[in-house]
Structure 1
């Protein structure tokens, strides 16, 4: 099989794996039912939402493991952690003679959240190594599929039960089993492919991008309440499955092209000259490529001493993390506003998050032709501003404002998450990326705890002692505080942009 085809097969494998790796994003779809079944308080539900993200605090372990262990073994560890973290709670809820205390459930949720880091680390490493010249485009495409996880899981649950979306047992079972199945299927392709020389592969990325846009469009349309109610659950599931498998046409086309390509005989001397020339060209392309320029190759200790790191850390904290906290609480927010189909709203937000993660990919394609690139901190700044506006828009009680705000927050959060992969590499190098980026995203569980508990305490205050709060006042003060904090994040992003502007001008333009 030609090496270019193996390259694309590795990308398809990452896409399939990432599409079911966002298991923590499913929590809002079944959090209300879990609250009812286990008789939890709102603060306890928020703590479980925090536990979903708390595994990222130890995500750096997967980065270190990837430096010393085979990639397949790192992936296997992540799959086993997820199987245990979600499997045991499923057995507990399905009354399989397993008794769990709340804190045992909390620990298992942390374990499950950590499993996602291991799979993400492998996906990032394989994508960056196999597509060095299209790093941002490849990462943007693959990470966008994480946002489709709630859509995929909800479609499966709905097709299996045809009763209701909020099925905690079904979600936990699928969270445990699906990543393991897809991981075993993708494992043979999740490795570094030696293609002989780095080269642009524009046609392939255009094809995958078109398929990806079509997939996201289908996800949005199928998640709209009026259409979802008329669409057969089984037909919807088949449609999503076909969309996920569609990118495989690119590596298959590479195989066909290699078979049909005529073989010309050359002398050994000509072959040697051609090989030397290819290596020389590849080296020049990689050295001159704006996608592989970085400030320095630094480790975690050196990174902690840099002001740019702390600016970047808090920009992410007050941008993407704040958006993720909103999405984690979306089920409770929808319920407090009298919205009856919380899971469809979760799918809706995930679909927009999908397109948000694609924005850096499109941006790369537009500017790569002119050898220019929008600085990553500037891109993040343009995404934090709409997030703050969306929080203030939520003070309006209509369903239209709820949908609009959710779409904005989902898209902008996804965009920041995607572009941050390149920003981490730009600012701190690619050598220690697996550890460095997991340290950066460790702010997610911190924010989940701080912002989530704040929302829970304000929720409890407005409920006046009742387990459920109804009305706009339940989250009014929360949205005001979150909007102000997000505005502060925009200011910090501007400062980071000004500090790193010279680097982007000198190295990337």
Structure 2
């Protein structure tokens, strides 16, 4: 039986990987400088934001590689893609030899690297925590929402960049931080193949407490905290989870000492009890796998069959019109802030990142407690309740007040993070787990598609309001865009309610 301490150490490794796996999320901070430096239009800038999402179209390569390569090598390869993609941009950013299309290809390469790290983290969490895979995956991937916050804090603490000199510090950090963390945690990234399905409730409770403290620290630091002090605080909170595997190791030592004192007869009896306990726990896990009455072993849908299901298209478009739309908003946050005369883009990005972290954590907390109470909240219903306030936040942006800009950014960041996290379990709830890898990759193709469509529309309307100028100033720059986005997100809420009504028969 594998060591519990090593299992938890692997989870912490995935949390650290995810915390630096959103290098593309700091793009809004330096996008304006990139636009001026390379003399590109708003439409071209939008295509660069889309390039990172376009890398997800080839994310299936990471899943294929994970079958044949050691798992620790998969995130290292992904981080290497980021090292090349952002590193070349850093070295030649001010050179005329680095053309716009070079930037596009390099950004897409770095975006594909994100998929490799995600793949390794998913597999480790699912294999090493079979009884709590949803909770482990949600807890781990929740940290990706902190990425923008981490990169902005590091940039401020190390480089003190001026508002019009943001690009190079961020590109350098985007290139080197992921590869350094990947090499650091690679020794702990292993699939245990464990048969130990017993739950460690106290371990997850401690993790949630530390995670909540980390989120609170991130939010507080978004409002004017000294950069170096805030960086140290976040660094300490990211290392505190190590107390869980250390406590596990201490308990293992005590159990081993106790075990060696027992007679062989007691050992044989204990083995029988463990085997019986595992069979009981397997039954409990299967019961916990029931989602609103739809249990494992029910009809599985996968591959091309998925495209013939009305439920899939309701789910696909509700996801595209909400969470993907939120990602487009965050990608355009730099230009939105600039159009309103707001120079502290990094503050807005940090704010959206911090609340996105809480949004991603919320489904994991609900999963943790609901599986123990025997009741699971319907995923479509949960998503619909998040889409409604998100739609309202887009309409609030029509008010020129900076307070509404802060409020809307907070709501959109939190809801986008939560919906993205819920989508993983929603796919299994609606279409089963047998073909999850294929199904979810099909679902998330909505991200590059939606990123292109909504981003391109926003760029066209921006350029029209600019009237031939390089940049646009005023609330009018995104006024029509916010109306369209708010209406689209309202439609997503309606589609998700219809999806919930169709699947209610499983409740």
TM-score calculated relative to the size of structure 1: 0.93
TM-superposed deviation, 1:101: 1.6
TM-superposed deviation, 1:502: 2.7
Distance 1:112 1:490 in 2: 32
Deviation string, structure 1 residues 55-102 (Cα, Å, up to 9, x no partner): 11222222333344432333233122222211111111165xx82221
Any idea what SS the aligned residue of 1:282 has? Answer: helix
Decide whether aligned partners of structure 1 residues 271 and 198 sit closer, same or farther in structure 2, where only a CA change above 3 A counts: same
Q: Which has the higher contact order (CA 8 A, sep 6+)?
A: 1
Assess if the C-alpha contact under 8 Å between 2:462 and 2:477 holds in 1.
yes
Assess if the C-alpha contact under 8 Å between 2:394 and 2:408 holds in 1.
yes
1:339-378 aligned at under 5 Å gives the runs 339-378=342-381
Assess if the C-alpha contact under 8 Å between 2:316 and 2:446 holds in 1.
yes
Assess if the C-alpha contact under 8 Å between 1:78 and 1:117 holds in 2.
yes
Q: Of 115, 129, 145, which residue of structure 2 is paired with 1:147?
A: 145
Q: Of 233, 247, 252, which residue of structure 1 is paired with 2:246?
A: 252
Deviation string, structure 1 residues 395-430 (Cα, Å, up to 9, x no partner): 011011000000000000000011111112222333
Distance 1:100 1:274 in 2: 66
TM-superposed deviation, 1:186: 1.6
Any idea what SS the aligned residue of 2:72 has? Answer: helix
Decide whether aligned partners of structure 1 residues 242 and 444 sit closer, same or farther in structure 2, where only a CA change above 3 A counts: same
Q: Of 402, 408, 414, which residue of structure 2 is paired with 1:399?
A: 402
Deviation string, structure 1 residues 314-335 (Cα, Å, up to 9, x no partner): 1110110000000000010011
The aligned residue for residue 212 of structure 1 is 211
Any idea what SS the aligned residue of 1:287 has? Answer: helix
The aligned residue for residue 20 of structure 1 is 20
1:227-266 aligned at under 5 Å gives the runs 227-228=224-225, 231=226, 233-261=227-255, 262-263=258-259, 265-266=262-263
The aligned residue for residue 63 of structure 2 is 63
The aligned residue for residue 183 of structure 1 is 182
Deviation string, structure 1 residues 251-293 (Cα, Å, up to 9, x no partner): 1111111123332514153144224213322322222223684
Assess if the C-alpha contact under 8 Å between 1:136 and 1:422 holds in 2.
yes
Distance 2:420 2:98 in 1: 34
**2:392 is the counterpart of 1:414:** no
In the alignment, structure 1 segments of 5+ residues that lack a partner are none
The aligned residue for residue 47 of structure 2 is 47
Distance 1:329 1:110 in 2: 17
The aligned residue for residue 498 of structure 1 is 501
Q: Of 331, 336, 358, which residue of structure 2 is paired with 1:333?
A: 336
Distance 1:291 1:209 in 2: 24
Select between 348-357 and 196-205 the one with higher mean Cα deviation. Answer: 196-205
Distance 1:245 1:498 in 2: 44
TM-superposed deviation, 1:47: 0.8
**2:129 is the counterpart of 1:131:** yes
The aligned residue for residue 122 of structure 1 is 120
1:289-304 aligned at under 5 Å gives the runs 289-290=288-289, 293-294=295-296, 295-304=298-307
Distance 1:379 1:321 in 2: 17
1:275-290 aligned at under 5 Å gives the runs 275-290=274-289
Deviation string, structure 1 residues 175-217 (Cα, Å, up to 9, x no partner): 1111111111222222222443212221111111111111011
Any idea what SS the aligned residue of 2:478 has? Answer: helix
Distance 2:196 2:262 in 1: 21
Assess if the C-alpha contact under 8 Å between 1:463 and 1:469 holds in 2.
yes
Q: CA RMSD in A?
A: 1.9
Q: Of 88, 103, 106, which residue of structure 1 is paired with 2:104?
A: 106
Decide whether aligned partners of structure 1 residues 370 and 286 sit closer, same or farther in structure 2, where only a CA change above 3 A counts: closer
Assess if the C-alpha contact under 8 Å between 2:461 and 2:480 holds in 1.
yes
Deviation string, structure 1 residues 467-492 (Cα, Å, up to 9, x no partner): 11111000000000000100110111
TM-superposed deviation, 1:38: 1.1
Any idea what SS the aligned residue of 1:425 has? Answer: helix
Distance 1:300 1:459 in 2: 39
Assess if the C-alpha contact under 8 Å between 1:136 and 1:419 holds in 2.
no
Any idea what SS the aligned residue of 1:134 has? Answer: helix
Distance 1:206 1:459 in 2: 47
Decide whether aligned partners of structure 1 residues 189 and 433 sit closer, same or farther in structure 2, where only a CA change above 3 A counts: farther
Decide whether aligned partners of structure 1 residues 452 and 154 sit closer, same or farther in structure 2, where only a CA change above 3 A counts: same
